[in-house]
Structure 1
């Protein structure tokens, strides 16, 4: 399996408002990101998601996170989303999204959950919350997973520690509060996005 973007870092803009979402997405894309996730527990996500699909869908893999129900997948497919991220393993959500040709990147913590997700068609796995398990856990988990499955660390990943997750065998990471916190300035988002891209490039030299 091949992760579908050039940079395997996913910008998670949880809590972003519709009137500011385009500016923040522009900041991360300008820094080099080409995957963006708007969690569905963000305010008025029904406005934010289609806005960024329309504006940046040809430049980045745009999608939604905290997707819990198959019905949400239906709505997101109608909006043109290409990426579905979940915090848990719901095989029907995964199958529905795969049926629409979406990239599905579900959250799991154990080998049982990981294989359930892969059996349902997931193309990548999100180990969540990574900070609670640590790089050694991911390294051990990867030993039993198919070697071609991209594994992403999510939860507690910073520019300073990104390299340790890459060294543990992660293809990349999903970046939440250390990249974007609700209400922060565009300048802060841009600064953190640049720091993460730099950290990733140094980690894979």
Structure 2
């Protein structure tokens, strides 16, 4: 049975760049306990695949883990072999999207223009990552949303925080990817919990 992206709520991806295998169980447990249901470990740091396997082994049934910075079909294969079910990329590559969908993964490629956004949706993307959101801005998101098909999901990534999440939602954001404002190597579990709860609360009151 194919995955439905709307089943995983809230639609916010915790981006765990630089996560180590030692940290992975405790970090994942904190995020799941706070309400996050989508976790991403970017592949451009050592140990990412091991972390994906660890998180996959302890995630609740209503959660998913996947890989970020997935640039090739080979990346898709490796992440899927380690239990990942989400393909997240900073760019648009139709072959990568299609291969992820062939392996029953959620596909969230990065786009920065209307042309890329439409092409990514045509290739089968479940949501599109509006990246880098901080540079593209709220006005850019509002503009691109006007030309997308109804129901297209756009998730800003880059510079999103609990403080500006409502502004992004008003501009048309359907979900988010949160990186350094949530997790960074060395963050204490108590600080991580505080940030996670603040973000979840901002989503619920948005």
What TM-score, normalized to structure 2? Answer: 0.95
Structure 2 match to 1:119: 122
Runs of 4+ in 1 over 6 A off after TM superposition: none
Equivalent pairs, count: 203
Distance 2:129 2:136 in 1: 13
2:181 paired with 1:197: no
2:108 paired with 1:105: yes
Higher mean alpha-carbon deviation, 173-182 vs 50-59, is at 50-59
2:138 paired with 1:128: no
Distance 1:87 1:185 in 2: 27
Structure 2 match to 1:95: 98
Report deviation, 1:184: 1.1
Structure 1 match to 2:37: 34
Distance 2:104 2:145 in 1: 25
Report deviation, 1:57: 5.7
2:83 paired with 1:83: no
* Structure 2 SS opposite 1:152: strand
> Is contact 1:16-1:183 (8 Å) kept?
no
> Is contact 2:8-2:62 (8 Å) kept?
no
> Any gaps of 5 or more consecutive residues in structure 1?
none
Distance 1:196 1:187 in 2: 14
Report deviation, 1:183: 1.4
Distance 1:42 1:71 in 2: 16
Higher mean alpha-carbon deviation, 78-87 vs 52-61, is at 52-61
Structure 1 match to 2:172: 169
Root-mean-square deviation over aligned CA pairs: 1.2
Distance 1:9 1:46 in 2: 21
Given candidates 56, 59, 81, the residue that maps to 1:56 is: 59
> Is contact 2:50-2:82 (8 Å) kept?
no
Distance 1:129 1:162 in 2: 15
* Structure 2 SS opposite 1:3: helix
The 1:42/1:4 distance shift into structure 2, 3 A limit, reads farther
The 1:88/1:123 distance shift into structure 2, 3 A limit, reads same
* Structure 1 SS opposite 2:109: strand
Given candidates 139, 147, 155, the residue that maps to 2:150 is: 147
> Is contact 1:27-1:189 (8 Å) kept?
yes
The 1:100/1:3 distance shift into structure 2, 3 A limit, reads same
